[in-house]
């Protein structure tokens, strides 16, 4: 196998796994969203509110934190979500679509347009109003929902378009994190903030020293999360910062792993060879020798994978199939009445709808086209400009990240329900139009599998 083929495998395989998980997660999110809406508008609507406002306490001796269940979800579980997002960002920047300037340029330009234009549309409609603080809401992209729509298109969509969507959505996530940290932070307690940054510094030192104990990073990460929570800076930022410090290098190289494993397997074959005697039992081998060989292979497997890859692989299913659906169930349940629908003409709702449905595709198309005609970037030849517009519409599915930012922008205000309703409507419209456009723009496509 050539070095180029190995490099392609290292980039494509993790992305294929990521896309598959996110795609099914998007379909699950659709179902959970409908369930939340049905629950919030059913005769048992009161139980919806009561369930998520139930206070929960986590205590260690005299120290404890008491929060409503929805806050544990939005501040706690979503910190894990942002941690996994941070791992994905780091991997993409080190060895994925964002690893080189040439491959990263097109999706980065797309993401910039997809963030700036929606924010400007919202700001223009809400300037000098009480709802202006929600300008960050239409900037976000929900990659799970977007990839869920692409799944429905099957083999009509080339893998390169999916990778483009993943890449610009990850850059979008970076922008969302910066917006949350810089513009949606409450009054800051600098003593706790200093303590959080001190812990972050310790984690950076451990990473520089190539310390690989995941339990140590986890423990310090929890401490940093609590300090951020007390500082007033949104606690989910701790997840991103922790991800930055997770080592991304394996302890042994691929060559060393293969050589060591082959040597062990050769030793095992000398003791137990089924080709020579099919009836020979494994128990004839010295038990200690057999166990030592198995444990050595296990250690080799652990050392061949970096802590970043191991954590991303183990946590991603939990985020995709548990944390995000729980967040959707707790936050998407809006009581839809005449007051909400009749008030849909307010600038907050129109800013979100136009920002996501119009601003996203226009911004992505405009920025990438201008960068292409000026020679700054080049569009991959494997997908068309019409498919870029379709991907831009998929970027207009804000959902998870948009609702998260809405919770920060309009906490304890009547604007929150309006914003959530607008997000759901805009995401639905953008998803439907994107599906129809990509179905028309994408002929039957047969992917080439890399083996």
pLDDT tens for 295-328 read 777 777 777 788 888 898 888 888 888 898 898 8
In the chain, domain spans: 3-185+234-250+305-441, 254-302
104-118, 195-209, 269-283, 414-428: segment of lowest average pLDDT: 269-283
CATH architecture of 3-185+234-250+305-441: Up-down Bundle (1.20)
Across the range 165-180, mean pLDDT stands at 84
Query: What pLDDT does residue 246 have?
Result: 93
Query: What pLDDT does residue 12 have?
Result: 53
pLDDT tens for 389-419 read 999 999 999 888 899 899 888 988 888 888 9
Strand partners, 57: 66
Query: What pLDDT does residue 283 have?
Result: 55
Tokens of 3: 């070095």
Write out the DSSP string of 389-434: HHHHHHHT--HHHHHHHHHHHTTTSTHHHHHHHHHHHHHHHHHHHH
For 57, phi then psi, to 5°, come to -120, 130
Q: Which of the two residues, 337 and 431, has the higher pLDDT score? A: 431
Q: Pick from 178, 189, 306: which is nearest to 254 by CA?
A: 306
CB environment 361-374: b (16+ within 10 A), e (fewer): bbbbbbbbbebbee
How buried is 41 (Cβ within 10 angstroms: 0-12 exposed, 13-18 middle, 19+ buried)? middle
Query: What pLDDT does residue 450 have?
Result: 38
What is the pTM assigned to this prediction?
A: 0.76
2-16, 104-118, 247-261: segment of lowest average pLDDT: 2-16
Tokens of 394: 């998929």
Q: Could you give the 3-state DSSP secondary structure of residue 66? A: strand
Mean pLDDT over each residue of the chain, to the nearest integer: 82
Question: Rg of the chain's alpha carbons, rounded to an integer?
Answer: 24
- Pair type for strands 55-60 and 63-68: antiparallel
Residue 336 — pLDDT band, cuts 50, 70, 90? Answer: confident
Query: What pLDDT does residue 448 have?
Result: 42
Cα–Cα dist 356/133, whole Å: 16
For 56, phi then psi, to 5°, come to -125, 140
Counting every residue written for the chain, the total comes to 451
pLDDT higher than 60, residue 260: yes
Query: In which residue are the tokens 């929600």 written?
Result: 134
Query: What pLDDT does residue 221 have?
Result: 94
Contact present, 360 and 427 (Cβ < 8 Å): no
Query: What pLDDT does residue 451 have?
Result: 35
pLDDT higher than 70, residue 10: no
CB proximity list for 86: less than 8 A, separation 6 or greater: 239, 240, 241, 242, 243, 244
Query: What pLDDT does residue 59 have?
Result: 73
pLDDT tens for 207-231 read 999 888 899 999 999 999 999 888 8
Contact present, 83 and 243 (Cβ < 8 Å): yes
Query: What pLDDT does residue 20 have?
Result: 55
pLDDT tens for 362-388 read 999 999 999 999 888 888 888 889 999
Contact present, 232 and 188 (Cβ < 8 Å): yes
pLDDT higher than 90, residue 343: no
CA 68 to chain centre: 24
């Amino acid at each position: 196998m050539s070095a180029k083929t190995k490099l392609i495998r290292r980039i494509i395989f993790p992305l294929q796994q990521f896309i598959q998980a996110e795609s099914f997660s998007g379909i699950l999110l659709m179902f959970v969203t409908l369930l939340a809406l049905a629950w919030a508008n059913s005769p048992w609507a009161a139980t919806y509110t009561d369930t998520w406002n139930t206070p929960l306490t986590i205590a260690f001796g005299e120290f404890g934190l008491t929060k409503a269940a929805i806050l544990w979800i939005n501040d706690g579980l979503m910190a894990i979500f942002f941690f996994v997002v941070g791992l994905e960002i780091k991997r993409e920047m080190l060895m994925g679509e964002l690893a080189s300037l040439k491959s990263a340029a097109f999706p980065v330009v797309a993401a910039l347009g997809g963030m700036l234009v929606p924010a400007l549309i919202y700001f223009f409609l809400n300037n000098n109003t009480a709802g202006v603080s929600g300008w960050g809401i239409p900037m976000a992209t929900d990659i799970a929902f977007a990839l869920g729509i692409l799944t429905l298109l099957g083999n009509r969509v080339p893998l390169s378009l999916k990778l483009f969507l993943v890449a610009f959505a990850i850059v979008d996530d970076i922008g969302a994190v910066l917006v949350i940290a810089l513009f949606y932070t409450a009054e800051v307690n600098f003593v706790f903030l200093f303590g959080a940054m001190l812990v972050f510094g310790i984690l950076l030192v451990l990473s520089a020293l190539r310390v690989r104990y995941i339990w140590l990073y986890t423990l310090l990460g929890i401490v940093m999360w609590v300090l951020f929570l007390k500082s007033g800076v949104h606690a989910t930022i701790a997840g991103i910062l922790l991800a930055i410090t997770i080592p991304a290098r394996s302890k042994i190289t691929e060559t060393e792993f293969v050589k060591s494993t082959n040597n062990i397997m050769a030793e095992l074959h000398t003791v137990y060879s089924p080709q020579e005697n099919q009836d020979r039992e494994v128990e004839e081998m010295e038990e200690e020798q057999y166990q030592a060989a198995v444990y050595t292979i296990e250690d080799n497997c652990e050392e061949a994978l970096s802590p970043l890859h191991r954590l991303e692989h183990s946590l991603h299913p939990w985020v995709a199939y548990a944390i995000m659906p729980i967040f959707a169930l707790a936050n998407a349940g809006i009581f839809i009445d005449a007051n909400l629908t009749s008030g849909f003409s307010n600038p907050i709702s129109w800013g979100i709808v136009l920002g996501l449905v119009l601003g996203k595709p226009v911004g992505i198309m405009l920025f990438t086209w201008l960068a292409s005609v000026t020679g700054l970037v080049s569009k991959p030849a494997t997908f068309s400009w019409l498919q870029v517009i379709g991907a831009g519409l998929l970027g207009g599915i804000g959902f998870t990240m948009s609702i998260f930012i809405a919770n920060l922008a309009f906490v304890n205000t009547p604007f929150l329900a309006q914003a959530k309703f607008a997000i759901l409507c805009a995401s639905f419209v953008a998803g439907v139009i994107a599906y129809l456009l990509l179905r028309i723009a994408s002929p039957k496509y047969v992917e080439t599998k890399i083996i």
